[in-house]
Amino acid sequence: MMSARGLLCLFSLYLTLVAGHGHVGSVIVDGKTFAGWNFTQLDQHPLPISAGWKAYDYEDTYVSPSSVGNPDIICHMNATPGELYVPAQPGSKVTFIWADWPYGNVHPGPIMDYIAKCDGECPAADKTKLKWLKMHQSSFTMKGGQVNWATFDMEAAKPMNSWTITIPNIEPGNYVIRTEILALHLAMRPNGAQFYPQCINFKISGSGTDKVTGGVIGTQLYSATDPGIVYDIYRASAATAYPMPGPPLANFTYI
């Protein structure tokens, strides 16, 4: 007879095969909504323009750990820059709305948010040269004795399937923000984790003073064998701590 853990793993595999996945279809900043990128637009001619980077992913799927060393991990598959900007300033609340995300807490995992400054205009940016600083990361909290992953909070948020961060006190300029879900339901085996990176151009105004310098190029953010990427969330000890992958948080200030 199959164990409860085995049944859970099998169920997770089934959901992975039959369910859609997700992308950031829109962004809300200080109450105003801006279009992201939707893979269904790939069949439109000409392609719609937006601040969201275009991922050439007809299956609305994920990037696997085997691809962490190639450019697909940066802003998703064969991604090209968005043509527009989302306006914001230090202290702005930015909400990413995930479309077509499989509901029911079946893709548990952390959420991480990065920022890179463009050398000039972001629509002309070379994604392989952008250097990323981590602004925010969230793994899980304990609620009622149960592990409550960041993706569970995203699903339960209002609007549904939304994730909100605050723009740090950064100096004015052109930036790309990279928000990313790492689904761990099959991460107990090598190459089983699922990355969902999404990039959006932002034009930051105001009088912020924090500089977005240094950082890590996207193809060096992770290794496929990092402890937080190959990770069995179904172990009893998994609820004690989670080794967050990627670089440490940058030392930004907030207003």
Round to whole Å and give the CA distance between 203 and 222. Answer: 27
Report the pLDDT value the prediction gives residue 11, as an integer from 0 to 100. Answer: 41
Given a cut of 70, is residue 22 above it in pLDDT? yes
Query: With 60 as the cut, is the pLDDT of residue 19 above it?
Result: no
* CA dihedral (98, 103, 106, 108) positive or negative: positive
Q: CATH fold of 4-239, please?
A: Coagulation Factor XIII; Chain A, domain 1 (2.70.50)
Per domain, the residue ranges of the chain are 4-239
**pLDDT tens string 226-251:** 999 999 999 878 778 899 999 999 99
In the numeric block, the tokens 């709305």 are attached to 97
Between 44 and 83, the more confident residue is 83
Stated pTM of the model: 0.92
Q: pLDDT above 90 covers what percent of the chain?
A: 82
Mind listing the pLDDT tens digit for each residue in 151-197? 999 999 999 999 999 999 999 999 999 999 999 999 999 999 999 99
Structure confidence at residue 109 (pLDDT): 97
Q: What is the phi/psi pair of residue 39, to 5°?
A: -60, -25
**Between the CA of residue 144 and those of 147, 158, 240, 253, what are the distances in Å?**
8, 21, 14, 32
Range in 18-27, 44-53, 112-121, 215-224 the model is least confident about: 18-27
Does position 104 have pLDDT exceeding 80, yes or no? yes
The pLDDT of residue 8? 42
The Cα 167–Cα 237 span in angstroms is: 34
pLDDT above 80: residue 143: yes
Report the chain's mean pLDDT, rounded to a whole number: 91
Q: Which stretch of 118-122, 141-145, 183-187, 204-208 has the lowest confidence by average pLDDT? A: 141-145
Contact status, residue 83 vs residue 18, Cβ threshold 8 Å: no
